Amino acid sequence: MRVAFVFSAVIPSEMSPYATKQYYVSLALRAKNVDVVWVSMGGQLVATSSGKIPVHRIQTRFRGSLGALLKISKFLHYCLSTGIRCVYWDDWAFWRSNAKGRVALQFCLRVLRTKNVQDARDPVVYWELAEGRIDAGSRRFTRLTRYEAMSNRLADLILLPSAAYAEAFVQRGLSPSKVYGTFRGIDRSLFNPEVNGDLVREKLNLSGRFVVGFVTHFNRYRLIEEVVIPLIERTRASIPNVFFVTAGSGELKERLSEVCSRFSESAVLLDFIPNHEVPKYLAACDVTLSPLDTRFDHCANTVSLKIVESLMLGKPVVATRNRTSGIDFKDLRGVVWVGTDLKSFQDALAEIASNYPHYSAIARRQAMEMEQLSTETAIPLIADKVIEVCCGRPSRLGTGQTFSHLQASTRRQRNARSLVAR
């Protein structure tokens, strides 16, 4: 079997935020003797640094609708001539702003009986609503909703970031056999309790400070104005030695930068931190934040990667309780689940600061039990699902995998390895 991962976004390397999951899934498929190729349709995709995944480029001098049609035509010819059985595309990395083109490509793939897998880690319509980019009921909302519904019908498999999200899609009328939700996993070679943040604390002069970390995208649905900024402005009154380390990008970065400059004695906004550098910055923190505005479907059903990353480092987290936390991660320890209001975050930080050895010990114990949420465990499950769908075999995995399901899966794998060793 041969699978093509298709991109239109600029991908400088396989560890780009737009390509990390596809890279891990590609390696998992290759480990199962599946031939994998990455196809760049317009984005300047460089060869993967590992050299394990070949890259094919499709280019045309035309732009707009004509350019898209020519790219689709060339891509379909490539699929037919090279025996592509399945096409894998990600909402963020392939024609995110060209829903019409994606639907057209999916329709053509259907005609050719080539399977297509849609990785909808942040379904476009619900993400744009949460971002405030569109209004429910607007013409653009109606158009995007229509295209998304068509895309969902044409997809052979829809991958979602949580079992909660998968259940929500099934409730909207999609077949359970078409939807699979599971946490994508965190690389434990990068995020683990042995990562040392002392050099970062020294660099930022954080000795003796209670460090609160907020490393994420500064989106509206992250409650920047409602929670994060007021915490920076007011927490020093209750926790005199508090210091907020923030880093990221997004439309509210300038607003957050202004506040951090005004309260420079207790807050800093860092420049962009590469993914491989993030662990040591999180390890330099005593606790991290993960607020979400759960009024939006996107925030109610998704999960912040930073929650799991922090726990893998042995750091407690204060996070908004949402639908996902009640389904996928109800058994996680080391998280203080709160609401969306400022006071609940203030109270949680004050409680953790006053009894930090207790909360730190809980998080560190949880860090030793995170194998089930690692890429090592989660990604092979996704690869198995892709193979089952593309080969036409019935699914064994159901609509999604929760934390408890992954724990059971990990135990089965461990037992199997033990039997082989005997």
What is the tens place of the pLDDT at every residue in 24-40?
999 999 999 999 999 99
Coil, strand or helix at 285 = coil
Task: Check pLDDT > 60 for residue 415.
Answer: no
The pLDDT value given to residue 307? 95
d(CA 53, CA 51): 6
What is the share, in percent, of the chain residues with pLDDT greater than 90? 71
The pLDDT value given to residue 302? 85
Question: What is the four-CA torsion angle of 404, 410, 411, 414, rounded to 10 degrees?
Answer: -170
The pLDDT value given to residue 397? 53
The model's pTM is 0.88
Of the pLDDT bands very low, low, confident and very high (cuts 50, 70, 90), residue 275 is: confident
Domains of the chain: 2-155 (3.40.50.20), 198-369 (3.40.50.2000)
Q: How many CB atoms lie within 10 A of CB 72?
A: 19
Residue in this structure with the two tokens 């060793």, named with its chain if needed? 421
Task: Check pLDDT > 50 for residue 59.
Answer: yes
Averaged over 278-292, what is the pLDDT? 97
d(CA 182, CA 120): 12
Token pair belonging to 413: 């794998």
Q: Contact, 119 vs 89, CB < 8 A?
A: yes
Averaged over 308-326, what is the pLDDT? 95
Averaged over 130-155, what is the pLDDT? 93
The pLDDT value given to residue 419? 36
d(CA 27, CA 108): 27
Of the pLDDT bands very low, low, confident and very high (cuts 50, 70, 90), residue 402 is: low
Q: How many CB atoms lie within 10 A of CB 60?
A: 15
**What digits encode the pLDDT tens for the residues 16-28?**
888 999 999 999 9
Render 187-252 in DSSP notation, one character per residue: -TTTSSTT---HHHHHHTT-TT-EEEEEEEE--GGGTIIIIIHHHHHHGGGTSTTEEEEEEEESTT
Task: Check pLDDT > 90 for residue 245.
Answer: yes
The pLDDT value given to residue 196? 96
Task: Check pLDDT > 50 for residue 171.
Answer: yes
Task: Check pLDDT > 60 for residue 200.
Answer: yes
Question: What is the residue-averaged pLDDT of the chain?
Answer: 90
Of the pLDDT bands very low, low, confident and very high (cuts 50, 70, 90), residue 47 is: low
The pLDDT value given to residue 330? 86
The pLDDT value given to residue 152? 94
Q: What pairing do the DSSP bridges indicate for beta strands 287-290 and 267-270?
A: unpaired
Task: Check pLDDT > 60 for residue 394.
Answer: no
